[in-house]
């Protein structure tokens, strides 16, 4: 089976499900996207890895894994989303240590968070993209992703409502948003930081 390389298109917060996010993966040589519903913690970790300006005062779980792997010379070479069964994506980390390759099972959200930290490519098989890939227009991506996404049911999403209302963010200036982002990171409120980062990105 042929592999298709994916890139991260973005992360959107669900307006209908508290604590749920849609991670959009896009094929690099095509127009299809693979939306996956993930939990808040994983979404925050992925957003922080994408946004280099957000630096947590203490390492998150995926940062700790990266530091641990670096200390013991373990490299994540690539991530493969290899199976889709009953609405659940299954992924593997292809790792290497001392020129010996190992395959480790992982949740897709965790695998992608680690791929970003190791600068590792993300792949899936063509048949999975044929089955679960969708065509989303730019205007559809914020909400339709949740209707089309296949849920990663292994995540544990908190039920707490967002601390920052999207409407409030829209009325803030860029300077105010940047200050709010810094404050959220200092307070280790990464869910709020992710939403603030998204609003800043929309204006660039």
Q: Which of 160, 204, 196 is nearest to 47 (CA)?
A: 196
Domain total in the chain: 2
* Predicted TM-score (pTM) of this structure: 0.71
11 and 55 fall within a common domain: yes
pLDDT at 17: 59
Percent of the chain whose predicted confidence (pLDDT) is above 90: 36
**Lowest-pLDDT choice from 43-47, 48-52, 155-159, 176-180:** 155-159
pLDDT higher than threshold 60 for residue 85: yes
Domain containing residue 41? 3-135
Cα 14 from Cα 143, distance rounded (Å): 7
| Residue 152 belongs to a domain | no
28 and 81 fall within a common domain: yes
| Residue 146 belongs to a domain | no
The average pLDDT across 168-197 equals 78
pLDDT at 112: 96
The CATH number of the domain holding residue 84 is 3.10.690.10
The average pLDDT across 66-95 equals 94
Of 85, 113, 135, the last residue of a domain is 135
pLDDT higher than threshold 80 for residue 151: no
Walk across the sheet containing 122-125 and list its strands: 100-107, 88-97, 75-85, 122-125, 3-13, 20-27, 33-39, 150-151
Of 135, 150, 182, the last residue of a domain is 135
pLDDT higher than threshold 80 for residue 172: yes
Higher-confidence position of 8 and 203:
8
pLDDT band at 92 (very low <50, low <70, confident <90, very high): very high
Cα 39 from Cα 82, distance rounded (Å): 20
**Lowest-pLDDT choice from 2-6, 27-31, 73-77, 157-161:** 157-161
13 and 111 fall within a common domain: yes
Query: Got the DSSP string for 45-106?
Result: HHHHHH-TT---SS--HHHHHHHHHHHTT-EEEEEEEEEEETTEEEEEEEEEETTEEEEEEE
pLDDT at 155: 39
7 and 72 fall within a common domain: yes
124 and 174 fall within a common domain: no
Dihedral sign (CA 24, 144, 90, 33): negative
pLDDT higher than threshold 60 for residue 124: yes
36 and 100 fall within a common domain: yes
């Amino acid at each position: 089976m042929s592999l298709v390389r994916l890139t991260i298109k973005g992360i959107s917060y669900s307006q209908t499900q508290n604590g749920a996010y849609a991670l959009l993966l896009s094929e690099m040589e095509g127009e299809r996207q693979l939306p996956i519903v993930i939990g808040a913690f994983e979404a925050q970790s992925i957003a922080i890895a994408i946004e280099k300006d957000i630096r947590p005062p203490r390492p998150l779980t995926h940062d700790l894994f990266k530091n641990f792997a670096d200390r013991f010379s373990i490299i994540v070479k690539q991530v493969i989303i290899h199976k889709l069964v009953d609405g659940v994506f299954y992924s593997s980390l292809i790792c290497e240590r001392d020129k010996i390759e190992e395959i480790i099972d992982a949740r897709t959200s965790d695998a992608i968070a680690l791929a970003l930290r190791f600068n590792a490519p993300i792949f899936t098989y063509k048949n999975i993209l044929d089955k679960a890939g969708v065509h989303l227009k730019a205007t559809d991506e914020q909400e339709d992703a949740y209707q089309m996404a296949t849920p990663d049911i292994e995540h544990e999403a908190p039920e707490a409502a967002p601390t920052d209302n999207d409407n409030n963010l829209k009325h803030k200036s860029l300077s105010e948003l940047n200050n709010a982002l810094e404050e959220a990171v200092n307070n280790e409120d990464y869910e709020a930081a992710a939403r603030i980062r998204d609003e800043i990105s929309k204006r660039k």
